[in-house]
Structure 1
Amino acid sequence: MFARRIPGLAGAVALAVALTSCGSSDSDSPAGDASDKSGQKTREFTVGDEKVSIPADPERVVATGYAVPTLIQADAPLVGISSWKRGEPMMDGEEKAAYDELPKVAGELASETNYEAIAEAEPDLIVLGVPVPVLGDIDMDRLKSIAPVVAVGPMVPSEWREVSRKHADAAGVLATYEKAEDAYDAKAAELKKKYADALDGLKFGHVGSYGDTSKGTFQREFNGSWGTNAAQDVGADYVGKPKEPGPGSKSVSEYPSLEELSDSLGASDVITYSVNTDGSVPDAVQAVLDSKLWKNLPAVKNRRALPVAFTEAATYGDAMKTLDAIDKSFAPLLDK
């Protein structure tokens, strides 16, 4: 549900990913301070300016969007999920089996929400991992009549960390989540130390997989974007910013024409580019690699154009795979 983007919406809805009414949970509040009508213990969870009363220990959770992979990996008590096709290539066998087995109560889009299916799942908590622009396509009153709703989505791609923590906290699986977080942080610190000297002073650029070949554009990503945020944890610095920054992901990526390739990436010492999980090159990236201008970029001539897989990661479990891919990709830089 609520896939990251669709090419035609890149400059509008889905790329204007916004922080969906989110705040921090009241973690310091005693979990058993109150009970709902059924006698289930509840706690207050802060969502933006609103405090939502949610189960202290949820037993039946429906998850959508960004919440789907996080809560599958944290072994939350899920009874229904949205489709999450963008994450399927990153799932291991156990995760994919769980994903396939769970009832799909919504599709990739907000308009594909199946309220009857959600009601039939009898959730005691609904966690929406959605961007603000699509909330208008959801009948929130209808959802709230079924179960308490926590709606939290990222403002920019790199905020999957904060957003996934809130999803895990609401679903009562924060302890499991934090084990994955600690493992990621330890590995990122190890790689940052390994590449510290090699990356020192280098200016990075990144070509993302969401250019529009029909319009002759490519995606340039800066710090905080999909293809760059994990590499930043290793020490890479994607310098610059969009020429015309906007809200959400428009503040960390832009879509120049292929004719602007030299102006956009000519000063980059290293260029990384997104590839699929199997190493194949997405069409939008291949169009850049086939350009004569690409072949004349200094970084390309110096053999410092590096593919990176798993740039779609939005959980610590998936981002561990991103770190593996970065380690493999950055290895030649150790010989600089």
Structure 2
Amino acid sequence: MSIRRSSALAGALAGALALALALTGCGSSDDGTDSAGKGKTRVFAADNGKIKIPAAPKRVVATGYAVPALIEADAPLVGISSWKRGEPMMGKKDLAAYKKLPKVAGEQASETNYEAVAEAKPDLIVIGVPAPVLGDIDVKRLESIAPVVAIGPTKPSAWRTLSRKQADAAGALEQFGAVKATYEARAAELKKKYKDVLPQLKLGHVGAFGEVSKGTFQREFGGSWGTNVAEDIGAHYYGKVKKAGKGSRAVSEYPSVEELPSSLGKADALTYSVEADGSVPESVKYVMDSKLWKNLPAVKAGKTFPIRYTEAATYGQAMQTLDAVDKAFAPLLDS
């Protein structure tokens, strides 16, 4: 490409800088090594501070929510934590990769095998656990092995930005972007499909984390696990948490079953979480067996819709949620 004027050069440099910042989202610094990128580093903003990491990691260990995100992004993984809760939402290729990768930690953060992490010889460790859980991990010990970036979950719907950040740290934005684009295209298609019936409804959602022993149910609002993907195709979940807390408690609450009429009585339609195989969790069945549930206007009108894969935390997983939402809402097109 020829450059005719200094202003053109300035414009080109500005454009290149803007693109670089858009791709990394975290700033970078060069250690002055060769142009091929070997040995280069950048500063990455994580939950645990601004961390100097390889610009192009070659051997990555991932734990927690970073596991499905980085498998999906085709990051150069050499070790992961166990993530059984996400197995039903993984595609065949990702599940095969998950099963093949060495497990250097268990389901809980406290089950980290530091010797196994060291044996994997990572040049980057991505921890995907909530900030309060970091206390269960000896981060200093991990830092003696490789740079550590903690990028954990916050509000349920934040999986979009968090999974991107995890992919960015691991140098795997290209595949991440491809999956994201596929998801967004499918969501736009479904939003158009349901534009005449879905946005007009006031929806309520019953999640899977109520406690039968305490007589409570989980009411999920917009931005929660059971609602955020449906919102991408035009669903509107009315109301908000009375006393908002942190994380999922900012977008869900746990009333007693006796409060069903006051909590969900104004809903035109109701959705509820089911397992990956379509079965109804005990916590949701407890609600649905109640006479108060059966007397809700939406239930009497036959406007109840089960949704699978409500715990999706990556764009690939959420593709399955979109399909589940499409199947659930299909009867609206016939009414």
Aligned to 1:198: 197
C-alpha deviation, 1:25, in angstroms:
8.0
In 2, Cα distance between equivalents of 1:273 and 1:139:
38
Q: 1:34 to 1:225 in 2, by over 3 A?
A: farther
C-alpha deviation, 1:333, in angstroms:
1.3
In 2, Cα distance between equivalents of 1:28 and 1:263:
45
Give the number of the structure whose alpha-carbon radius of gyration is greater.
Answer: 2
CA deviation digits over 1:130-184, x for unaligned, max 9?
Answer: 1011011111111111101111112200000000000000111101000000011
Q: What amino acid does structure 2 have at the position aligned with 1:218?
A: F
In 1, Cα distance between equivalents of 2:227 and 2:285:
19
Asked if 1:288 corresponds to 2:251, the answer is: no
Aligned ranges 1:25-44 → 2 under 5 Å: 26-27=24-25, 29=27, 32-34=30-32, 40-44=39-43
C-alpha deviation, 1:52, in angstroms:
1.3
Aligned to 1:134: 133
C-alpha deviation, 1:93, in angstroms:
2.2
CA deviation digits over 1:94-124, x for unaligned, max 9?
Answer: 2222111111111111211111111111100
In 2, Cα distance between equivalents of 1:139 and 1:34:
32
Aligned ranges 1:103-252 → 2 under 5 Å: 103-252=102-251
- Alignment check: 8 A CA contact 1:309 1:322 kept: yes
Query: 1:135 aligns to what SS in structure 2?
Result: helix
Alignment TM-score, normalising by the size of structure 1: 0.88
Aligned to 2:266: 267
CA deviation digits over 1:233-267, x for unaligned, max 9?
Answer: 01111111112211221110011111111111111
Aligned ranges 1:320-335 → 2 under 5 Å: 320-335=319-334
C-alpha deviation, 1:217, in angstroms:
0.9
In 1, Cα distance between equivalents of 2:90 and 2:228:
20
In 1, Cα distance between equivalents of 2:26 and 2:202:
42
Q: 1:255 to 1:34 in 2, by over 3 A?
A: farther
Aligned to 2:84: 85
- Alignment check: 8 A CA contact 1:64 1:81 kept: yes
C-alpha deviation, 1:225, in angstroms:
0.4
Aligned to 2:64: 65
C-alpha deviation, 1:51, in angstroms:
2.3
- Alignment check: 8 A CA contact 1:213 1:287 kept: yes
Aligned to 2:252: 253
- Alignment check: 8 A CA contact 2:26 2:44 kept: no
| Larger RCO (CA within 8 A; separation ≥ 6) | 1
Aligned to 1:52: 51
Q: 1:49 to 1:25 in 2, by over 3 A?
A: farther
Unaligned runs of 5+ in 2: 1-21
Query: 2:272 aligns to what SS in structure 1?
Result: strand
Runs of 4 or more above 4 Å deviation: 24-36
In 1, Cα distance between equivalents of 2:98 and 2:50:
30
Q: 1:40 to 1:123 in 2, by over 3 A?
A: same
Alignment TM-score, normalising by the size of structure 2: 0.89
In 2, Cα distance between equivalents of 1:257 and 1:132:
29
Return 76-85 or 224-233, whichever deviates more: 76-85
Unaligned runs of 5+ in 1: 1-23
CA deviation digits over 1:269-327, x for unaligned, max 9?
Answer: 11000111111111111111111111111111111110011111000001001000111
Query: 1:189 aligns to what SS in structure 2?
Result: helix
